[in-house]
Amino acid sequence: MVSDMMPDTLKKLLIKQHYKLVGKHSAVKTCHWLRKSLRDEGVCYKQTFYPDNVKSHTCLQMTPSISCCNLCRYCWRAYPKSVAPGWNEMAFKGWDEPKEIIAGAIEAQRQLLTGFKGWDGVNKKKWREAQKPGSAALSLTGESTLYPGLSGLIEGFHGKGMKTFLVTNGQFPERLEKITEPSQLYISLDAPDKKIYKELDRPRLPDFWERLNKSLELMNSLSCRRVIRLTMVKGWNMTKAKEYARLIEKANPDFLEIKGYVHVGASQKRLPRDSMPFHNVVKEFAKDVERESGYRHKGEQKESRVVLLEK
């Protein structure tokens, strides 16, 4: 049952967008690449780049916190402030237990998969395998590190033999400092300096730049696979490769993902279509980052407008 703590406006919008709501503050949604994979029409770039960690058709895309502390212009999700300005998620205390979220998320995934079985061209073997998720991508919407039980959630997924991908905007370094390490950690680095970050990511916490930099420093101390993701928005943050390289050096990640913004969802109300860079433009900026950072080209996926660099 979804808590009344979540505003009706937000619940209705998420349900309309085919999210399954779990408990008071979590959600699940099948991604484009899961659906493609079920029909043998391709896989997510994460499977291409990191095949030991994820298979698209068994990936559970979820979040333990629909809320976020940034209001990023490029985000395709509908964030709470845009539909319910009075919802103060950071003051919320009635958090669900990790085991409740895990059970609810897996059941929600199975419910979402039910209708796919009858689709033309669906690989029935993959559909059966999808009933038992092999990985959890904590990246669906919101900011997962807002959830205080995050370590227990990661441990619970690992206890089921699942890999975990955690994506964070780095605004809660105190959570990363004590976290049970996921299989793979992403930190989103979407600006080369404080000014651009403030204008593009629109953070709600006053010390946002210090928080991000602390998270980057903490990343260097972790032993899991570590990835910095740069979401490139044309006309906003595809500049100052040298400054990006300085920030990347702090984190010392294993990989860099340089990915083009896509003009979809709620972001269409905030940015014009020409803010979406073509893949060749992303590749050119990736070369600038290569030169400045010392990382080297490892792979790319044109459909997702993403380039992978490795140390």
pLDDT in tens, 172-188: 999 999 999 999 999 99
Residue 54 is predicted with a pLDDT of 86
For residue 8, what pLDDT is reported? 77
Query: Does any domain span residue 89?
Result: yes
* Within a domain: 82: yes
Residue 3: inside a domain: no
Into how many domains does the chain fold?
A: 1
Instruction: Name the residue range of residue 284's domain.
Output: 8-310
Start-to-end C-alpha separation, the chain = 45
The pLDDT value given to residue 309 = 98
Q: Output the CA angle 198-202-207, nearest 5 degrees.
A: 60
pLDDT in the model for residue 2: 40
For residue 18, tell me if it sits in a domain: yes
Q: Is residue 68 part of a domain?
A: yes
How many other C-beta atoms are found inside a 10 Å radius of the C-beta of residue 117? 12
Q: Provide the CATH number for the domain around residue 294.
A: 3.20.20.70
Query: What percentage of the chain has pLDDT greater than the value 70?
Result: 93
Examine residue 140 and state whether it is found in any structural domain, yes or no.
yes
pLDDT beneath 70: ranges in the chain:
1-6, 78-93
Look at residue 66 and tell me if it is in a domain: yes
Q: Find out whether 66 and 11 touch, Cβ atoms under 8 Å.
A: no
Give the pLDDT of residue 203: 92
Question: What's the CA gap between 87 and 104, in Å, rounded?
Answer: 23
- Looking at the DSSP bridge assignments, the partners of residue 22 are 26
Tokens coding 190: 């979407």
Helix (H) or strand (E) holding 164: strand 163-168
Q: Which two tokens stand for residue 254?
A: 């294993």
Q: Which sign does the torsion angle of CA 201, 89, 26, 264 carry?
A: negative
Residue type, 199: E
> What's the pLDDT at 84?
42
What the block records as the tokens of 275 is: 């803010």
Query: What's the distance, CA 84 to chain centroid?
Result: 22
In-domain check, residue 1: no
